[in-house]
Structures are given as C-alpha cells and as structure tokens.
Chain A
Amino acid sequence: MPINWKRYGAKEGVYDELIKPGGRPRHGATALVRYLGDLTGERLARRQRAAERAIVEMGITFTIYSEGANIDRAWPFDIVPRTIAWREWSRIQKGLKQRLRTLNLFIDDLYNDQQVVADGVFPQEVLDGAKGFLEPCVGVSPPLGVWAHVCGSDLVRGGDGTVFVLEDNLRVPSGVSYMLENRIVTKQVFPELFRAGAILPVDDYPSQLLETLSALSPRDVEEPRVVVLTPGIYNSAYFEHAYLAQRMGADLVEGADLEVGRDHTVYVRTVRGRERVDVIYRRINDTSLDPRVLDKDSLLGVPGLIESWRRGRVALANAPGSGVADDKVVYAYVPDLIRYYLGEEPIIPNVPTYLCSDDRQREYVLDHLHELVVKPANESGGYGLLIGPQASQAKRNEFARLIRNEPRNYIAQPTLDISTAPTLIDNELVPRHVDLRPFILQGQSLAVTAGGLTRVALPEGSLVVNSSQGGGSKDTWIVGRPR
C-alpha cells in the first residue's frame, strides 16, 4: 500500500521537517515526499536493507569499547533524507559563520588582553570557573588569530519552526565522516532523486579541511606536512580519524609516532628517519596533548608538544584551550559576545538558558526541575544530564543537591519539543526527533558544510540522538539553490 501522508501522525505542536500539518510537503521537500508517497512500506524497507548491507560492506563503523574488547558496530542509518530549503539554509550558514568568528575573537581575547572582561561584558567569576581555560595558553597568538578551526554546532528546531543553536563543540567535534558516507549510501539507494542536480553536494569537505589546515603551516612550503593525531583504535571515532586522514592524504599518527626535537620542532618517525611535521589535526583532548604540561599520566600525547606550539614551530588544530568557549555557561553569553565583537545582532538565537550561578535564576531552576533539562557545564555526548519531565523524583532531588553544591557547573534549559522527520520503522514512516550538526571551518576564510549530520532518536518519543545511546542518522539535503 502506498504511503498516505495524511495519516503520517505528526505530533501536535511539533514541527516536522518534511510534512506540514495536514500532510502536504514543506518547501523543498515536494519532490522527495511525492517520490516516497509512490513507494510502499515494503519497498522502502527493501531499500533500507540494501543501505544497511552497503554500510557493512563499506565498513562504516563506530567503535564501542566494553569489557576490554572493542566492538565495531555498523553505523545506524535511516534512508529517508531530511531536507532544508536553500533559502533558510543560506541564513543559517551566515549565522554559523558569525558565531565561529565571534568565538575565535573571544578565545583570542581571553588568552591575551581580556578586554571583554574589562569592558564588563563577560564576568570575571565565570572566567575563573571555566575548566576549559588553560594557563599554558596565555599570551599565545596562533596563526591567523584563529583558535578553533573546526567547529561542530548542534542545531535544533522548536515547535514554531525557529532554529536554535543548542551547543557549540570546539574541542574535537566528530561526525563529519558519517555525513559524507551517508550521502554515498543515499546515492546508491535513491539515485533517481539526484539526477536533477538540485541537491547541494557535500563531498568537498576533506579538501576544504586540508586547505584550512595547510594555511596554518609555520613553514612557507608548497605542501606542508599535515598529520591527524588519534588516541588510537579503541577510540569510538577511530573510523573517522582514519577516514579523514585517508581522504586528505595525511598520515594518521598516534602520540608515540611523534617526538619533539631540541629545536622544538615536531617530527614523525618514518622508516626513512624522522621528518618534520607542520600541522597537527589533533583528535585527542587538550589535557592529553602533552604529559609535560597538562595530564602528567597521559600516554596519548607528545612530550614538549605544547612548548613547540607556543613557539609557533607547529600548528595545532584546534588550538589547545579552545574548549574554554564551549563551556555551557559561556554558551549563555554568546549572543552578547556577537554584539560586542562584531556589532551585529545574532542571526541564530540560543535556546533560552538559566545560569545556576545566578541566585534568582537558580531558584527558578530548582522550582521548575520537572519541566527543565539540566546540563553540566563541561560534559559532552549527552552524558550527565537531567531531563526533568522524564526523570524520577529521586533523580530530580539528586540534581537539586548537585546544583546547590556546585552552581557554576550547571545550566538549565526548557525542554524543547524538537522537530521530527519521517523515519522508517517497521515498514512505516513515522515521526522521530532530529537535530543537526553542521561543521564550520575557519582558517584563511570560513566555510560551512552543505547541511551537516542529521541525527535521529530512533525510540518513539526519545530526544536523545547520540549514537552511543541509540541514535541513528540521516542524509541531509540542502535543496533549491537558485542557479
């Protein structure tokens, strides 16, 4: 039986990315929705199985490490793409660039003059409590004045259709390889839909990343040596590290492959002897980078690396210390920072955020725990948070205690009824909640991926999209760009 969009069953008050209330397609989704409507659930399911086979054959995996063994799981993927009209996307894209430019100016300011604090825009107390602020970075001026070269910002859409930034990931954001692979799989499954050429391609990302990284080279050479630094095969994103290295033609290295010479130059050990490294795209945490400076027990890092970077002998992307700006308390100040540094109004709004460090806001949060989401300031991956409406009373009490003990470490936001998109579950298209992680690059210039990685919470009603916690993903189509 062909799919009947009138019976699709979107939730009241929740925005659906493809289908308007009443079953008609949104702007930009018309061709896709009509095409899907002609297929039956069974035929869609057959294509879903073909996609899953392709994913296994292509070896697209993410790694779960448990009980001393690492298991490669096939990447969870839903074949129904999520569309965004070009007109809306071009605005979002501008907003994302505006945000990253601001964050980089902010980080550079914090580690140098701290003018933003002197001018009373950013409170000293918040800076004092920022765990991501790293003392060894003070006074450093990285190339081009840019600290965070790769940013993954999470976007969600509220019930009235407004797109919000939920968080900015400036440390080691991951997922871009899955965005690229999702497109390849979708082209295999729905080749018919690509013929019109109306969907923006995404596959230029590795070249853009290489260009961004190469621009940071301390040596003025034709082809600087760029390496990708991974924690190793047990890391959940190892697939991505290997993938990006391969696509850029860069070496995939572990800390033990690198060493810093007496001249503070970083070398990679090869079978021909040591060779100089210019740029390190590091996918290990700040604190693990250099056992001499930060985490003394780190086996992943390279002794002397931070000093080499401070002296400008090697470029690190993202620069250490960038994480100071993806603190969830700092997040609350980003709209003000945009006005302060750029003199512009923010193009994409923040989700309304309550700071527990503020007495009045904290009281409000404690009184409304049952309707708020509480997040620790320095966690990522959806860990350690409280989803008020779904939590038990005991859990809420526990969080009330945590908040009172360490108010600086918590923020709260209203639970958003984030948007849904049609997802194939048991041969039927049903609404499931989605977010979007675009990737923004800043080097010589700024670039944004065409769309990004759409993550989807597969269990009914679930809002958790993280792949480590039962999330899947979708291809994202930016459609209708005028030629």
Chain B
Amino acid sequence: MSLLARVAERIYWGSRYLERAENSARTITVQHRQLLDLPAGATASWETVIATLGAGGLFQERYKDPGDKLAMWYLVGDEVNPSSVASCIHAAKENFRTARDILPQEAWYAVTELELVAQRKLRRRLVARSWCEGLDTIVEISQRINGLLAGGMSRGLGYQFLLAGRHLERMDMVTRVLDNAVVRTSGRKGSVILQRAIWRGVLLSLSAYQMYRQQVRRQIYGRNVVDFLLTDENFPRSVAYNLDRLKRAVTSLPRPRAVRTALGPLSEHLVRLDDLDGKALNADEVRAWVDAFQIDLARVHTAIGRQWFPRSQLTDEEVDAAI
C-alpha cells in the first residue's frame, strides 16, 4: 500500500519545523551568550538574528522600539511570530499528529514533550532564565527524537520524506546564517577579535565548532568557515553533505525525475564555489551566491510539493468535466 500524499506532506513539514526549532534554539542561545560579552555599541544585535530567522517585517510592525528582551521574546515564545521556537514546535506537533501512526511511538511522545517544554518555559513572557533553560532542553529533546527516528523507524517512504524535510531545512538554515555573518563582518567592521567572535558564533549555532577545529586545524577565519559549512562532505550540517543526502532520499521515492532535475542547479552552485577558492572573502560575492542558491532551493521545495503532494491528481479534462 502506498503512502498517502497528505501524510507524506505532513511528515515532510513536521520534519522541517522540528529541524527549524532546533536550529533556532541553538542560534538564539549562542546570540544570547555573545551579547553578554560584546562591548557596548557593537554591531551585533537581535535584529540580525531576527533577519536570519526570517521574520523581520512582522517584528518591526509589531514593536516600535524594542529592547533586547522583547526582541528575544519575539524569537523564543511570541505567538505572533510564526517562526518563533515555540511556534515551530507547535507546528511540528500538529503536523506529526496526523502522521503519528508512521512514527515510532517513543518519538511521538518526545514530540509531545517538546510542546510541553515550550508551553512551560518558552511561552512565559520576559523570563530570560526560563527561556535559556527551555532552549537547552529543546535542543536535547530534538536530538533524542532524531536518535529515536534513526534507531527505530523503517526506511520506507515515510522515512525518506522525513529526511527530505530535514536536509532541505538544514541547507536553508546554513545559508541564512552565513549570509547574516557575512553582512556583520563585511567592510572590516570592528576588531579582529570581534570578527572572530562572530564566526565562532556561526560555528556554535550550527554545532559545527568542534568539527571545524578537527577538520580545518587553523584559526577561525571567515573564509574557512564559509568553505567548511558549504563544501565539507563529511560534516552532517554542511550544505554539500545535506545536498548529497537529499538527492539520495529523493531518488528512493517514486518517480523522482522532476525533483532530481530541480536539484541540478544546487550542485552547480557548489561547483561554482571553486572559482571563489583561494581568494579573500568578498561579502558581495558570497551574498550573491547565497541569494541564487536560496532561489533554487525554494524551487526544489516547490518541485517536491508538485510531485508528491499535489492538490489534485485529476487530469485537466476531468477537472473541466467536474466544473
């Protein structure tokens, strides 16, 4: 029996939201810690994180003169923000709820637990200590869920949609974070120490710090961090790695041709990176690259929806007849 298109879609979205919640939680925690270290007047602020996590317009609309605390609240628990960690967790749960038969039972319980933590710790206004505790717990439980899925879920169609959602979301997040860091460090703003702090923050928020150190064995320079996060084939949060895994997941799904075609330009973008090799980091070039990549990534997302979660599978003729 084949997987229902709707169930596949909910698994895909559930997986994306889960991954987004975890990544956002880590990014926010890192930012919070860094803000405590930075000298007054430094260029880092919550607004750049808000831009990274993709909810800038709404934020400005809602809060006229936000302080740090309100800004953090907006990212952590604000119901108004569909990208807040708590909102992502809620969306993940609502998606998985209708697919709960497909998930291993313990994984579903852990998803329920995530929402409980979000309710207790993140939805409380203006209690930064509670938020930080909550965000740490969220990251932990998310890791547990990934473990439960890896260890207990059959590698059927459902699992492949789960992977597709996760890999796509990771590529999206990595490129957003890089884009933001490039902006903040461009034009040699601030001291070397400050620049280094920003790039260290990037690595930490993608839990890449330790693996970067092992692999690159050099000081933290923007050039190397960008390289590592885009092209390293062994690090499970790099773009190259996730693109490879996304291709594998897609290939094992029925009739993948259209989606494989849509994936082509992403590989080409990675190849094009070799041209930038050896040069100093050029902010404009990196930003242009990220923009192009993001556009093609969105196309892959659309292709997946069109191929496997269509609104209707009636032929045009049948639709005409029905009207």
In the complex, what residues of B have CB within 8 A of residue A254's CB?
A: 6
Task: Give A270 to B98 CA distance when docked, in angstroms.
Answer: 15
Smallest CB gap from A230: residue in B: B98
- Contact A262:B313 (CB < 8 A) given known A271-B3, A271-B157: no
Task: Give A185 to B239 CA distance when docked, in angstroms.
Answer: 49
Our pick among A233, A245, A270, A274 for the contact of B3 (Cβ within 8 Å) is A270
Task: Give A268 to B313 CA distance when docked, in angstroms.
Answer: 9
- Contact A270:B314 (CB < 8 A) given known A233-B98, A242-B100: no
Total cross-chain contacts (CB, 8 A): 66
- List 19 A–B pairs whose Cβ atoms lie within 8 Å, in order of A's numbering: A59-B105, A225-B1, A233-B97, A233-B98, A242-B100, A245-B101, A249-B1, A257-B6, A261-B318, A269-B310, A270-B4, A271-B5, A271-B253, A271-B254, A272-B254, A273-B254, A273-B255, A273-B313, A275-B2
Distance between A384 CB and nearest chain B CB, rounded to angstroms: 31
The verdict on B40 contacting chain A, using a C-beta distance below 8 Å, is: no
- Classify the secondary structure of A's interface with B: mixed
Task: Give A251 to B3 CA distance when docked, in angstroms.
Answer: 9
Task: Give A24 to B105 CA distance when docked, in angstroms.
Answer: 45
Task: Give A253 to B7 CA distance when docked, in angstroms.
Answer: 9
Smallest CB gap from B2: residue in A: A270
Task: Give A273 to B105 CA distance when docked, in angstroms.
Answer: 28
Distance between A362 CB and nearest chain B CB, rounded to angstroms: 48
Distance between B317 CB and nearest chain A CB, rounded to angstroms: 7
Question: Which parts of A232-256 form the interface with B (CB within 8 Å)?
Answer: 232-233, 242, 245-246, 249, 251-254, 256
The verdict on A376 contacting chain B, using a C-beta distance below 8 Å, is: no
**Which of B5, B108, B309 is the most central at the interface, judged by chain A CB atoms within 10 Å of its CB?**
B5
The verdict on A303 contacting chain B, using a C-beta distance below 8 Å, is: yes
Question: Which parts of A270-309 form the interface with B (CB within 8 Å)?
Answer: 270-275, 303-304
Interface size range on B against A: 20 to 34
Asked if B318 contacts A262 (CB within 8 A), the reply is yes
Asked if B101 contacts A271 (CB within 8 A), the reply is no
- Contact A274:B4 (CB < 8 A) given known A246-B101, A252-B101, A262-B321: no
- Contact A267:B317 (CB < 8 A) given known A252-B101, A257-B4: no
Distance between A241 CB and nearest chain B CB, rounded to angstroms: 11
Task: Give A257 to B7 CA distance when docked, in angstroms.
Answer: 9
The verdict on A259 contacting chain B, using a C-beta distance below 8 Å, is: yes
Contacts A59-B105, A268-B4, A304-B322 aside, 5 further interface pairs with beta carbons under 8 A come to A59-B108, A59-B109, A232-B98, A233-B98, A256-B6
Asked if B2 contacts A271 (CB within 8 A), the reply is yes
Smallest CB gap from B3: residue in A: A271
Task: Give A273 to B6 CA distance when docked, in angstroms.
Answer: 12
Asked if B318 contacts A269 (CB within 8 A), the reply is no
Task: Give A155 to B312 CA distance when docked, in angstroms.
Answer: 45
**Which of A232, A249, A267, A269 is the most central at the interface, judged by chain B CB atoms within 10 Å of its CB?**
A269
Distance between B191 CB and nearest chain A CB, rounded to angstroms: 50
- Contact A269:B6 (CB < 8 A) given known A251-B1, A303-B322: yes
In the complex, what residues of A have CB within 8 A of residue B59's CB?
A: none
The verdict on B163 contacting chain A, using a C-beta distance below 8 Å, is: no
Asked if A270 contacts B317 (CB within 8 A), the reply is no
Task: Give A225 to B2 CA distance when docked, in angstroms.
Answer: 11
In the complex, what residues of B have CB within 8 A of residue A259's CB?
A: 312-314
In the complex, what residues of A have CB within 8 A of residue B97's CB?
A: 233
In the complex, what residues of A have CB within 8 A of residue B322's CB?
A: 262, 303-304
Task: Give A267 to B94 CA distance when docked, in angstroms.
Answer: 26
Asked if A274 contacts B313 (CB within 8 A), the reply is yes
In the complex, what residues of A have CB within 8 A of residue B100's CB?
A: 242
Interface of B toward A, CB cutoff 8 Å:
1-6, 8, 94, 97-98, 100-101, 105, 108-109, 157, 161, 253-255, 308-310, 312-314, 317-318, 321-322
Task: Give A262 to B8 CA distance when docked, in angstroms.
Answer: 26
In the complex, what residues of B have CB within 8 A of residue A267's CB?
A: 313
Task: Give A70 to B310 CA distance when docked, in angstroms.
Answer: 28
Smallest CB gap from B307: residue in A: A271
In the complex, what residues of B have CB within 8 A of residue A275's CB?
A: 2
Task: Give A254 to B9 CA distance when docked, in angstroms.
Answer: 13
Asked if A269 contacts B313 (CB within 8 A), the reply is yes
Smallest CB gap from A57: residue in B: B109
Distance between A242 CB and nearest chain B CB, rounded to angstroms: 6
Task: Give A222 to B310 CA distance when docked, in angstroms.
Answer: 29
Asked if B5 contacts A269 (CB within 8 A), the reply is yes
Task: Give A269 to B314 CA distance when docked, in angstroms.
Answer: 10
Smallest CB gap from B308: residue in A: A271
In the complex, what residues of A have CB within 8 A of residue B253's CB?
A: 271
In the complex, what residues of B have CB within 8 A of residue A253's CB?
A: 4, 6
Smallest CB gap from B97: residue in A: A233
Task: Give A18 to B66 CA distance when docked, in angstroms.
Answer: 68
Asked if A257 contacts B5 (CB within 8 A), the reply is yes
Task: Give A304 to B108 CA distance when docked, in angstroms.
Answer: 36
In the complex, what residues of A have CB within 8 A of residue B255's CB?
A: 272-273
In the complex, what residues of B have CB within 8 A of residue A233's CB?
A: 94, 97-98
Smallest CB gap from A267: residue in B: B313
Our pick among B94, B109, B314 for the contact of A261 (Cβ within 8 Å) is B314
Task: Give A249 to B254 CA distance when docked, in angstroms.
Answer: 22
In the complex, what residues of A have CB within 8 A of residue B1's CB?
A: 225, 249, 251
Asked if A242 contacts B4 (CB within 8 A), the reply is no
Task: Give A58 to B321 CA distance when docked, in angstroms.
Answer: 47
Task: Give A225 to B1 CA distance when docked, in angstroms.
Answer: 9
In the complex, what residues of B have CB within 8 A of residue A273's CB?
A: 254-255, 313
Task: Give A246 to B101 CA distance when docked, in angstroms.
Answer: 8
Asked if A270 contacts B5 (CB within 8 A), the reply is yes
Smallest CB gap from B157: residue in A: A271
In the complex, what residues of A have CB within 8 A of residue B108's CB?
A: 59
In the complex, what residues of B have CB within 8 A of residue A303's CB?
A: 322
Distance between A291 CB and nearest chain B CB, rounded to angstroms: 12
Task: Give A259 to B321 CA distance when docked, in angstroms.
Answer: 13
In the complex, what residues of A have CB within 8 A of residue B2's CB?
A: 270-272, 275
Our pick among A242, A268, A274 for the contact of B101 (Cβ within 8 Å) is A242
In the complex, what residues of B have CB within 8 A of residue A249's CB?
A: 1
